[in-house]
Structure 1
Amino acid sequence: MTEPPSYPEPGSAPAYPPPAYPPQTYPAPANVPAYPPPSSPPVYPAVGHPGQPHPASYGYPAYVAPAPKPAFPHDRPRPYHQMLRTWTYAPWKSVVGIVVLLGGFLIAVPILALPVLFIAVAFQSGDYLDNITDAATLERVTPAAMLYLNATLGGAILLTWLIIRLLHGMRPRWLSSVVPKLRWNFLYACLGVSVAALAIAMIVGALLPSSSADAELGELNTLTASYAMVALVILLTTPFQAAGEEYVFRGYLLMAVGSFIEKPWGRWFTILLTAFIFACAHLQFDGPVFFDRFGFGVVAAWLTIRTGGLEAAIALHVLNNYLAFGIALAFGDIAESISDPSASWWNILVTLAQVVSYALLVSWVAKKMKLRNTTSPPVPAG
């Protein structure tokens, strides 16, 4: 009986017969170099040109901080008459500024100052409307009229501040000087110098022929309550009135005209033009009187540029107005002295003696005080 075939146990490896031929061996290749294992990973040069930093990886761009805002508004040191030439200067701004200054000075400021007139007239005796008419036209100089006149001219300071701030983006203090601020110590020194210059002018006037007198002073006016009030108004408000004229003519107007011309001859063009406008603005075209206003304007503008600020011009203007109003109030007709003054041609020599001596003395004082007459160089803020 035939036995059934046997099968390996489950899970055991199958048995295979040994190979019929021996395993073949291969000789090792000759002259093959052996390669040592790498000691460190290879180093590849950075992408880009030599000396340049490795470019940033892809993704969001790196944040770049904005350039610091300059601490001063000028690209380089500027003299007073060119202070409107800032980083953002454009000629049209000066043109618009002059137009706004003219309209505001002649129309807007007088209208805005009317409440001062209405309130002041209420304290006067007589017909209310007649008093307002007399004060507004300067037919009769009363305390209300003098207060309204000085308030109108003094209010022009605020007008110039608004123009330079809103139109040019500069702080109003830049109108005072290149520092920028009103240099009070220098202003007080200029007040003293103005007295010395006035003394020199009086000496020159005393040496001239008698025909040089503007008019006989006559008798001293009778002191009344109204005159006393006018004198008090003059004493308290004349500095603001004089400063207002200076901020208009030697302040913004000088800057606006001077900003158009950077060449050296532009300085004298600016001085002469603004002095002529100043003389015409007084509407007093008697020859010696017009020259007096023009000569004052020339020296005031020159000193403003020479010293870098309005202090010298304000000081001389205050003293001149105190003197003119005081003499007219004491010996003459103050209304006539304001609206229709007259003078002898000899008075030109007196004017020259005063303004020339004042210019020389103030220049010497400014040099001794080592005042800046240009703005500071640009320095980044912070």
Structure 2
Amino acid sequence: MISPFFHALSVRDRQWGRVAIMLGTAPVAGVLISFPVMIALFALGGGEPEGPRLQRSALFVLQTALGLGSLAAGVVLTAWLIFGRPVATWVTAAPRFRKSLLVLGAAATLPAVGLLMAIDALAFGATPQLPILDAVGLDLKLGYVCAVVVGLLVAAAAEEVVFRGYILQQTAAFTRNVWVIVGLNGVLFALFHLEFDPSALAARALAGAAFAWAALRLGGLEFAIGAHLATNLMLALFQAPMLPDDPAASGGLDEVLGEVALAAYTVAIVEILYRRRRDRAEAISSPA
């Protein structure tokens, strides 16, 4: 399968010297870009903030988004300089960013994650903390919702650009075996989170592989960004607030089964969208 997302690849992407320079300089670029980000983090109260957990979580999410955003900026700007391609080619193969696909990814994923959370609570005895129902003022709740929507959107876009943008395409420069491309992407995505519980690794690898499949089939990151955002948003609003002192993930069989179901659902939605777009293109190109 040759995805339109790989059409921008050139001989430069297959030169090991350029890849080595990319691996050595991208972290440096990320550090340089992070200087103003560090100032922003300090301005946001970069120490150990006090106050209600929703306030602390909102601040932590925004800090994390700024950090991941600077990392992604370092990666794509370095890739732009080394490989001589427009930055947009690591985001979408379409002429412009397709916001409708992002919305579709989020809209399709929100109810699916909600259903899985309900099943987890009823069948496996999970006890969600329901942060959105915390006994705090409406202004703090609204501020929390706005902060996590913006912060998680930036964080999801940053992770997708790095993993399903640069890393996915760099892998495809050396192999067109779709299972290698998708599987390696999922594994690297899981390892990046530095939580090595086997079930947590498996769950994140499945999520990463599903997002990689979406990028391949739909020719861009838009759907994956929306789905990624929706997954994290449901967790932040209804499962538990994201905080810096959260324990390392230690899921179980229920988490893996849930991620298998969500990954299969994501792939199914992507295939429906892919076939509809293909049929529409064939209908337009067919003679009257």
**Which structure 2 residues correspond to residues 102-251 of structure 1 after superposition, within 5 A?**
102-105=27-30, 107-121=31-45, 132-134=46-48, 141=56, 143-202=58-117, 204-205=119-120, 208-210=123-125, 213=126, 215=127, 217=129, 221-223=134-136, 229-251=143-165
Amino acid at match of 1:151: L
After TM superposition, give the deviation of residue 371 of structure 1 in Å: 8.9
Report the 3-state secondary structure (helix = DSSP H, G, I; strand = E; otherwise coil) of the residue aligned with 2:260.
helix
Q: TM-score, normalised by structure 1?
A: 0.62
Choose which of 235, 238, 243 in structure 2 pairs with 1:334: 243
Aligned AA (1:92):
G
- Aligned to 1:179, what secondary structure does the other structure show? coil
Offset of 1:80 from its aligned partner? 5.2
Q: 1:78 to 1:112 in 2, by over 3 A?
A: farther
TM-score when normalising by structure 2: 0.80
Question: How well do the aligned residues superpose, as a CA RMSD in angstroms?
Answer: 3.2
Q: 1:356 to 1:102 in 2, by over 3 A?
A: farther
- CA distance in structure 2 between the aligned counterparts of 1:164 and 1:333, rounded to whole angstroms: 31
SS in 1 for 2:175: coil
Report the alpha carbon displacement of residue 277 of structure 1 after superposing the two structures with TM: 1.3
Amino acid paired to 1:315: G
Q: Deviations over 1:230-280 (max 9, x none)?
A: 443212222111101100111111111221224xx2x22122222111111
Aligned mates of 2:41, 2:124 — CA distance in 1 = 43
Larger radius of gyration: 1
Aligned partners of 1:98 and 1:253 also within 8 Å: no
Q: Per the alignment, do residues 83 and 290 of structure 1 end up closer, same or farther by CA in structure 2, a change over 3 Å counting? A: same
| 2:213 alignment partner in structure 1 | 302
Structure 1 unmatched runs, 5+:
1-76, 122-131, 373-382
Q: Decide whether the 8 Å contact of 1:303 with 1:312 is kept in 2.
A: yes
Q: Distance in 1 between matches of 2:221 and 2:121?
A: 31
1:258 and 2:148 are equivalent in the alignment: no
Gaps of 5+ in 2: 50-54, 281-288
Distance 1:93 1:260 in 2: 13
* Distance in 2 (alpha carbons) for counterparts of 1:141 and 1:199: 24
C-alpha distance in 2, partners of 1:232/1:91?
43
Which residue type is aligned with residue 75 of structure 2? T
CA separation of 1:148 and 1:207: change in aligned 2, threshold 3 A: closer
**Equivalent residues of 2:165, 2:221 under 8 A apart:** yes
Q: Hey, what does 2:184 align to over in structure 1?
A: 273
Deviations 1:116-169 (A, max 9, x none): 112222xxxxxxxxxx3326xxxx945543322111112334223312321111
* 1:180 CA drift (Å): 4.2
Alignment partner, residue 286 of structure 2 = none
CA distance in 1, matches of 2:128, 2:248: 16
